[in-house]
Homo-oligomer: A and B are copies of this chain.
């Protein structure tokens, strides 16, 4: 047992740290460190920088053009990016659909899609959720009817994060209504420029446009864009979800945000207040404990000795911590978080701030963070899963 990274791992971290310091644009990290609005261009600029280095798919094996890092290296890379204030990589391409294409896609699909994902050029979206099928994914209704060489897709997806920017979308669609709901689902890759696709914004309670509805009206999708076998999509979807590992805990971001919370608390004069400071101290312990749990998972993955089945716990705890630091930041801002001035959340705004500039996004971020215990399998669903494992029934 050893808490410390090996000299090799430390050298790797230093290398990453130096590269990020040299390559992460300062205007972008400024926005991240201050929770200011990130444009599509910001996100894509960083994706391309990573892509050029071959790191946009940082978890990919070498055979598909990835760096072939082990779990520790991946973790260190993620940590360095997060602490330096890099935007979160939009996961739908490199983290979600790519592993499915690698595992189940045809060589043609791999050749066609993986390079664009790695380079950061092609923006992918996710078409899983439907109205009426949130946590109960298997009850999805979007159907794809086979007509010769194409599927004709009709239906609606929702909660499509950043889908307004999407070039492609991967979708679970119903190709058969026989058997259990899980059977009869296929996994399609769909060009979002196809005729019949409409993307409609969903404005969330914080006033931002982050999620969308995607409507399919007789959209023709070539059969060659189906991944794997027809009606086996559920299997591939589960594979994808299994790839959401420790990063669902988002502990590296939490560490960065805790530092921000301390800065804000100090500026607002509550860092030395026993009551407020105690809340920060509690959160600090929560984050250390979460990080230790993440490290335990990584160690178990590395050694392969004993798997740790705590993914549900990481999701629950990670999301609670995200909500808590956003809540404490808002409480630190206090009365000055009342204004809702959207321009004040843009970098370089020339207007007069109300209170300190750091107050502008605090309430909106708090409101936005309510999603974290709902999406990605609500925390209630996660507790179902955890308890089934613990109780063995």
Q: Mark A258-274, 1 if CB is under 8 A from B, else 0.
A: 00000000000000001
* Total interface residues in chain A, CB < 8 Å: 3
Could you tell me which residues of chain A, from 250 to 305, have a CB within 8 Å of some CB in chain B? 274-275, 278
Chain B residues near A275 (CB, 8 Å)? 274, 278
Instruction: Describe A's contact surface by its main secondary structure.
Output: helix
Q: What residues of chain A have their CB less than 8 Å away from a CB belonging to chain B?
A: 274-275, 278
**A274 vs B273: C-alpha distance in the bound complex, in angstroms?**
11
Copies in the complex: 2
**A278 vs B279: C-alpha distance in the bound complex, in angstroms?**
13
Chain B residues near A274 (CB, 8 Å)? 274-275
A278's nearest neighbour on chain B, judged by CB, is: B275
A273's nearest neighbour on chain B, judged by CB, is: B274
Chain B residues near A278 (CB, 8 Å)? 275
Tell me the smallest distance from the CB of A249 to a CB of chain B, in Å: 29
**A278 vs B275: C-alpha distance in the bound complex, in angstroms?**
9
Tell me the smallest distance from the CB of A273 to a CB of chain B, in Å: 10
A–B Cβ pairs within 8 angstroms, 3 of them: A274-B274, A274-B275, A275-B278
Tell me the smallest distance from the CB of A337 to a CB of chain B, in Å: 24
Tell me the smallest distance from the CB of A117 to a CB of chain B, in Å: 46
**A275 vs B274: C-alpha distance in the bound complex, in angstroms?**
8
Tell me the smallest distance from the CB of A378 to a CB of chain B, in Å: 19
Tell me the smallest distance from the CB of A239 to a CB of chain B, in Å: 38
**A274 vs B277: C-alpha distance in the bound complex, in angstroms?**
12
**A250 vs B361: C-alpha distance in the bound complex, in angstroms?**
46
**A274 vs B274: C-alpha distance in the bound complex, in angstroms?**
8
Tell me the smallest distance from the CB of A291 to a CB of chain B, in Å: 25
**A278 vs B273: C-alpha distance in the bound complex, in angstroms?**
13
Tell me the smallest distance from the CB of A276 to a CB of chain B, in Å: 11
**A278 vs B278: C-alpha distance in the bound complex, in angstroms?**
12
Tell me the smallest distance from the CB of A9 to a CB of chain B, in Å: 39
Tell me the smallest distance from the CB of A218 to a CB of chain B, in Å: 41
**A275 vs B275: C-alpha distance in the bound complex, in angstroms?**
8
**A274 vs B276: C-alpha distance in the bound complex, in angstroms?**
12
Tell me the smallest distance from the CB of A43 to a CB of chain B, in Å: 43
**A266 vs B278: C-alpha distance in the bound complex, in angstroms?**
22
**A275 vs B282: C-alpha distance in the bound complex, in angstroms?**
13
